[in-house]
Amino acid sequence: MSNTSSAGADDIEGSISLGPTRRPSGVWHIGSRDLPAPQDVSDELRASIVATPQPDLSSEPAVPADEQALRALVAEADAMATERLHALRDRVGATVTPDVIDGVGVFHVTPATIDPRHEDHLFVYVHGGAFVLNAGKAGAIEALVIAHRCGIRAISVDYRMAPDHPLPTPADDVTAVYRHIVSERPAATTALGGSSGGGNLSTIAVQRAVEEGTDVPGALYLGTPGNEMSEEGDTLYINRGIDRSIPRHEDFVNAVRFHADGRELNDPLVSPIYGSFEGFPPTFLVTGTRDLLLSATARTQTKIRQAGGIADLLVLEGIGHGDYGNPLNSPESRFTYSQLNKFLLHHLA
């Protein structure tokens, strides 16, 4: 919070409650503890948590450092995600149509029913997947969820990724599509955003728009954004082994290294939390008590607000990284997207 400006002259010292301190230490060793499944969550989420094996911290990292092994993992995961996309699309009667905008692949995602209030709105969606996963239609799953649940048209950006296309290509692709779209329609009626790595790239796209003088979107969605990729942030340590989606930094850092292409992980091009948050549009953020990236999300909220912006943060009990999509039929998942929709309806012109 080094850039915090004071709220004006303020000569308050001391503390509300803490007394004198004794033995200084920078690093605390936190002992083991038992963590019960949360009670004050839906039956669906609780059942899902109880049915999830506890993360095994002695296992190999989820994403391997070896390029061939990474490619094999990505191919398998993307094929499964594409199947989920097809099943979901058919279930909700949406269409997912490929196109190319300014040389970048995209998918038009059109729900069965457009809410009349969203008739003139468009959601530009940026998928997650640690900058290596979810190429092609695999990347359109959350775009489909948003389109269906909010009744809004979406365009999912199929940006190029590592290992073949490390940074800045992914952000370049997102920016190219966004810039093209807002050259043809009002930015104020256009939303931008995504989860995890998609939150990272959406944040960078807005930072670039502000820098270049391109209009920022009418609303920004950052679902547990991967805005910090280095080993910094309280919950990276606190929620280690507790987040069932990404239990450890090691589980995604190999993917990020392919993307970073030799840059330090705290470079603003890798971790946009170290970039500027001036001029950000109204932003909706969501995270949960078990999220490894709760700190990355909360720090993003703070930085947007420090710069004078609107940053609405929803924190859900029992929710790990992206768990508002796991399972999709949980009340928590419906609640998250209904809150996102409320935010879009309020802020989009």
Nearer to a second copy, 20 or 213 (CB): 20
**Amino acid letter at 63?**
V
Chain length of the chain: 349
Q: How far is the CB of 262 from a second copy (least distance, A)?
A: 23
Shortest distance, CB of residue 179 to a second copy, whole angstroms?
28
Which secondary-structure segment (H or E) carries 96?
Answer: strand 95-101
Q: Which two tokens stand for residue 274?
A: 């170290």
Task: Identify which of 159, 171, 172 has the alpha carbon closest to the alpha carbon of residue 133.
Answer: 159
Tell me the one-letter amino acid at 81. Answer: A
Q: Which is nearer to a second copy, 68 or 329 (CB)?
A: 329
Closest distance to a second copy from the beta carbon of 50 (Å): 5
In the complex, least distance from residue 149 CB atom to a second copy, rounded to whole angstroms: 6
CB of 286 to a second copy, least distance (A): 11
Rounded to an integer, what distance in angstroms lies between the CA atom of residue 307 and that of residue 279?
A: 7
Residue closer to a second copy by CB (options 245, 283) is: 245
Which CB sits closer to a second copy, 98 or 308?
A: 308
* Degrees, nearest 5: CA angle 300-306-310: 70
Nearer to a second copy, 179 or 280 (CB): 280
Beta-ladder partners of 223: 195, 286
Does residue 316 contact residue 324 with C-beta atoms inside 8 Å?
yes
In degrees, rounded to 5, the angle at the alpha carbon of residue 314 between the alpha carbons of residues 255 and 136 is 35
Measured from the Cβ of residue 14, the count of other Cβ atoms closer than 10 Å reads 5
Smallest separation, CB 259 to a second copy (Å): 18
Rounded Cα–Cα distance for residues 42 and 95 (Å): 30
Nearer to a second copy, 105 or 111 (CB): 111
12 or 184: CB nearest a second copy = 12
Spell out where 164-215 has E strands: 190-195
Least distance to a second copy, CB of residue 214, Å: 28
The backbone torsions φ and ψ at residue 109, rounded to the nearest 5 degrees and listed phi first, read: -115, 115
Select 14 or 103, whichever has its Cβ closest to a second copy.
Answer: 14
CB of 321 to a second copy, least distance (A): 9
Q: What angle do CA 311, 314, 319 make, to 5 degrees?
A: 140
d(CA 188, CA 185): 9
Residues paired with residue 295 on neighbouring β-strands, in sequence order: none
